[in-house]
Amino acid sequence: MRKSEELLRKLIETEPECIKLLTKDSILIDMNPAGLGMIEADSREQVVGQSVLRIIDPGYREAFKDLVRRIFNGESAILEFSITGLKGSKRWLETHSVPMRDDNGKINLLLSITRDITERKKTEEELKKYREHLEELVKERTTELDIKNTELERFNKLFVGRELRMIELKEIIRKLETEIVSLKKLIKKLEA
């Protein structure tokens, strides 16, 4: 039994993701070294027994409190939120939380596995900016194409109108030529 406990402790200590236990009031009971690194704590003693809400950015505190309420109501939950570490660094985290029960089946703690998703969030933001830039370029090109199409339609109308006028003029010339030939024949008859 002792060896199993030691193995489990080693697994938790070497896990690259944050593993933490919280009370119903968001008080930290324990956290592995990966988690301490994420929140920029130098030791467990620096944070154990304190509320984790103080490092959660204000815009996400209510969502985190709701997550805790859900867990203590027997649900499992996932949340993405941002924190400001103890030394001032901003990070994005994703936590997967489940209830832990005592021997009587009563929920007494919240167990979370949390990963740092800061790089993913930066990439998502860059992709969003790139997409917005592309959309703006498409909008600009569409406007340019609309202007060119309008010009082409105007030139086309002018050209078609000119062509129709040319056809009319050719028809008038053909009629005049026919009349001239008829007049020449009439003049020859009259002269004869």
In angstroms, how far is CA 76 from the centroid of its own chain? 25
Question: Within this chain, do residues 141 and 91 fall inside the same structural domain, yes or no?
Answer: no
Q: Tell me, yes or no, whether 21 and 88 share the same domain.
A: yes
- Shared domain for 75 and 159, answered yes or no, is no
Q: Residue 167 is encoded by which pair of tokens?
A: 């056809």
Give the model's pLDDT for residue 153.
Answer: 84
- Domain C-terminal end among 98, 116, 134: 116
pLDDT at position 43? 94
What's the CA gap between 111 and 114, in Å, rounded? 10
| pLDDT (mean) for 115-138 | 93
Q: Could you tell me if 74 and 94 lie in one domain? A: yes
Cα–Cα nearest to 178, from 190, 186, 167, 188: 186
Residues 84 and 55: beta-carbon distance below 8 Å: yes
- Domain end point (choices 70, 85, 116): 116
- Specify the pTM: 0.69
Is residue 81 located within the same domain as residue 156? no
Closest CA to 114 of 71, 84, 79, 63: 79
Q: Note whether 62 and 132 are same-domain residues.
A: no
Same structural domain for residues 127 and 102?
Answer: no
Of the candidates 127, 74, 124, which has an alpha carbon nearest to the alpha carbon of residue 99?
Answer: 74
- Does one domain contain both 106 and 140? no
At 163, which amino acid appears? E
Q: Are residues 22 and 71 in the same domain?
A: yes
116, 149, 167 - which closes a domain = 116
Q: Which residue has the higher pLDDT, 157 or 101?
A: 101
Q: Are residues 137 and 190 in the same domain?
A: yes
pLDDT exceeds cutoff 90 at 71: yes
Same structural domain for residues 138 and 61? no
Residue 17's CATH number: 3.30.450.20
Residue 113's pLDDT band, with cuts at 50, 70 and 90, is: very high
CA dist., res. 68 & res. 26, Å (int)? 7
Tens-digit pLDDT profile for residues 31-49: 999 999 999 999 999 999 9
Task: Report the chain's mean pLDDT, rounded to a whole number.
Answer: 90
- Transcribe 93-146 into DSSP letters: EEEEEEEEE-TTS-EEEEEEEEEE-HHHHHHHHHHHHHHHHHHHHHHHHHHHHH
Same domain, 93 and 133: no
Q: Which domain range does residue 190 map to?
A: 118-192
Please state the domain count of the chain: 2
Q: 77-84 and 28-31 as β-strands: parallel, antiparallel, unpaired? A: unpaired
pLDDT average, residue stretch 126-146: 90
